[in-house]
Every structure is written in structure tokens, then in C-alpha cells.
Structure 1
Amino acid sequence: MGKAEKTRQFIIEKAAPIFNRKGVAGTSISDILKATRLAKGGVYGNFSSKEEIVMEVFDYIAGEEKLQLRKVTATANTSAGKFEALFEYYSTFPKNQRVAGGCPMLNFGVEADDTNPGLKKKVSELVLYYESRIAKMVQYGKDNGEFKPEWDEKKFAVKMFTMLEGAILVSSVLGHNKQMLVVLDALREEMKHHSL
């Protein structure tokens, strides 16, 4: 990685938690300058606009989240074990998050709804990625005789993803994880119902 690439990466990593906490509209170039201790030319010499920084930051945060969730599930050999590892992870979310500030899909998704089609597309792709990962975990379990063959992995993926995202939102607003724990118990019950 050359000097320019290192500087770009440095800016992205410093800006990521700011955008994730304060949002796109709430984050100013001054915030980024303060966090990086760079002059305006140092930032704009590497990025053409705040919009470009936002898009790169979202890709970075999404990549870090994917890496974290792969790490969480990597030690389990069974599909049920991978699900339980995820449930444990979400029971303490966001304490173990790689980039501070809460769930990037909620944070960026709400803001990008109608104002930023490019960012909305990136958030949509990330949602579909997570749903497909959940569906694959169910299918893996079905293929290996852990789960009943009639369990609809696509419907469960949508249900699990939206329940977790809703619980993250409510937990963030209320400042505790009681609702998250109820959601996790419901997901465990469904998994148990479809287990062989």
C-alpha cells in the first residue's frame, strides 16, 4: 500500500465511527479534520467530496461487520452452533462491535432512504447479503441433518434479520437489551422447532 492509499485508509478509519454515530448530515468535514488532524487539503487531496468519503466509509464499516460476524461463527462446526454463536454476539451488541456507533444498516439506511440513492443501494445490498448468509446457514444445517428439510430458509432469513435489526433499534433507544433477549429466545425456539 502506497502513501496515498495509506492516507485514504487512515481518513476512512477515523471518519467511520463519526459517520456511524452522528450520521451523514450530522458529520461535517470539520469533524473529519479534527479526528484525522489533517488540513483540508489533506482530506480533499484524497477524496473529491464528503459524498465520496461517506461511500468509502460505509464499505469499510460493512467489511468490518462482515469480518466480525464471520469470526463469531468460525469456531462452530455445526449450523446450530453457528446460530448460537450469533445469538450470543447479539445478546451483548454493540459492546463487541468493530466500529463504534451502532448498527450501520440502521444508521446509514434511515438517512439514505430518499436522499442518497447510491448509499441506499449499498445498504440494500448489505441487507440482502446478511439474509443470504442466514439462509445458507439454515440450508447447511438441512444438508447435514440438523434441521427438518421443510424449514423455509429464505423466510427464516428475512424474519431473523428484521427481528434482530428491530431489536437493535429498540435496545439503542431504551438503553438496555431486554427486547433483544426476547427476540433471541424466539429465534432459538424456532430453530429448536425445526431441529431434528
Structure 2
Amino acid sequence: MKTKGEKTKQFIIEQSAVLFNKKGMAGTSVSDVMAATKLAKGGIYGNFDSKEDLCRAVFDYLMERLTANITSRLADKATHKEKLFALLDHYNDIGPISVAGGCPMLNFGTEADDTDPLMKEKVANAIKLSQARIARIVSAGIAAGEFADTVHPQTFAVKMFAMFEGAVLISKMFDNNSQMKIITKLLKEEIESFSL
């Protein structure tokens, strides 16, 4: 059971998650967080050492939610091809993902690449984990005899991840997911091409 302090900290993270994901780290002020949480500045800084500390906690929270969502979508899929398709459908279904502000890896990574080495490292690790998930599915599919052994799991994982993250950015810029659908279709065709 969480203490009152832990509950308050979690409340602050949850209430500011969309703010930071939409407005960015630099674009979100402590006043914005205070307005969203109805807490005084002392209530924020009593739980976080700095705004950067809160940003990192928000990123972790957003990634936990994203990972849990993807894990649940893949859980009931019987084949490795179905798992890859479900992962692609996850990104296709969320379209421009405007409600939550988009992909946290893309949003936080773009802003942190030159300004916040610790956040940059967090985002880089999240990217590695996302690519590793894809590579594990492909490797398991090869081992199960579902995929041809000519496909290189890590290379395909980098390609698939880069393509759908790029499509997320484009979807946000155009406020529609028409290009995401093209990317999803191309990747599904490639998966079909190495499926046995």
C-alpha cells in the first residue's frame, strides 16, 4: 500500500504526463503543473528535486503505460507473425495519437538530444528496449519455423521501429494517419515475405 507521499508523487506524475508530452519539457512550466494538480509550488518541489526530475519520472510513467498497452495487445496472439502485426496495428490504431500528445520517445528524445544527457540516455534505453522486443519476436519466429532464417532480427527491428516512429511524427504533423497506414501495409508485406 502506498504512503500518502507516494500517492501525491504519483498524482503529480499522472496529472502532468500529458502536459509534458504535449508541450515539451521546456514548454511546460511549474505553474502549468501547479494548475493541473491544484498544488502549490512547495507541493511539487516537496516531491521532486527539480522540474527535470519530474520530467524523468513522467517519461518513465508514459513508457510504462505504453509498454503495458503493447504487452496486453500481444499477449493473446498465437503466432509471432500475429504479434508483429498486432504491434503494427497498435501504432496504426492510435493514428495521430494527439490525445496523449504522441510517442514519448519521439517527443522527449527530440527535445533532450542536446539539452539533457540523463533524459537522452533514458530515451535511448527505451528505444533499445522497443527494438529488442521486435528482434525477440522475429528470433522466436525463426526458431519456431514461422519465419525464414534469411531475415536478420536486429536489422529488421531497427527498420520497423524507425519506420513506425517516423510515421508517428508524420501523422502528428498532418493530423491524420494516412501515411502510417502506408508504412503499416509495407511492413506487413515484408513480414509476409519472410513468413513460411
Shorter-chain TM-score tier: over 0.9
Distance in 1 separating the partners of 2:116 and 2:97: 29
| Alignment of structure 1 residues 1-196 onto 2, 5 Å | 1-94=2-95, 100-196=100-196
Report the number of matched residues: 195
Distance in 2 separating the partners of 1:159 and 1:95: 20
Structure 1 segments (4+ residues) deviating >4 Å? 94-97
Name the SS of the counterpart of 2:190 in structure 1.
helix
Name the SS of the counterpart of 1:25 in structure 2.
coil
Distance in 1 separating the partners of 2:155 and 2:39: 47
1:78–1:101 Cα change, 3 Å: same
Distance in 2 separating the partners of 1:120 and 1:108: 8
> What is the aligned-residue identity percentage?
47
Name the SS of the counterpart of 2:158 in structure 1.
helix
User: Which structure 2 segments of 5+ residues have no match?
Assistant: none
Distance in 2 separating the partners of 1:96 and 1:73: 19
Distance in 2 separating the partners of 1:13 and 1:175: 25
In the alignment, residue 173 of structure 2 is paired with which amino acid? V
Using the TM superposition, give the Cα deviation of residue 151 of structure 1 relative to its aligned residue in structure 2, in angstroms: 1.1
Using the TM superposition, give the Cα deviation of residue 101 of structure 1 relative to its aligned residue in structure 2, in angstroms: 1.0
**CA deviation profile, 1:5-64 (whole Å, cap 9, x unmatched):** 110000001111100000000000011001101111111111111011011111111111
Name the SS of the counterpart of 1:147 in structure 2.
coil
* Maintained 8 Å contact 2:130/2:161: yes
CA RMSD of aligned residues (A): 1.4
**CA deviation profile, 1:117-165 (whole Å, cap 9, x unmatched):** 0000000000000000000000111111110012101110000000000
Distance in 1 separating the partners of 2:139 and 2:122: 26
* Maintained 8 Å contact 1:94/1:102: no
Distance in 1 separating the partners of 2:13 and 2:175: 28
Using the TM superposition, give the Cα deviation of residue 179 of structure 1 relative to its aligned residue in structure 2, in angstroms: 0.8
Distance in 2 separating the partners of 1:187 and 1:167: 12
* Maintained 8 Å contact 1:89/1:96: no
Distance in 2 separating the partners of 1:187 and 1:44: 45
Name the SS of the counterpart of 1:151 in structure 2.
coil
Using the TM superposition, give the Cα deviation of residue 87 of structure 1 relative to its aligned residue in structure 2, in angstroms: 2.0
Using the TM superposition, give the Cα deviation of residue 70 of structure 1 relative to its aligned residue in structure 2, in angstroms: 0.4
Using the TM superposition, give the Cα deviation of residue 83 of structure 1 relative to its aligned residue in structure 2, in angstroms: 1.2
TM-score when scaled to structure 1? 0.96
Distance in 2 separating the partners of 1:175 and 1:48: 36
In the alignment, residue 154 of structure 1 is paired with which amino acid? Q
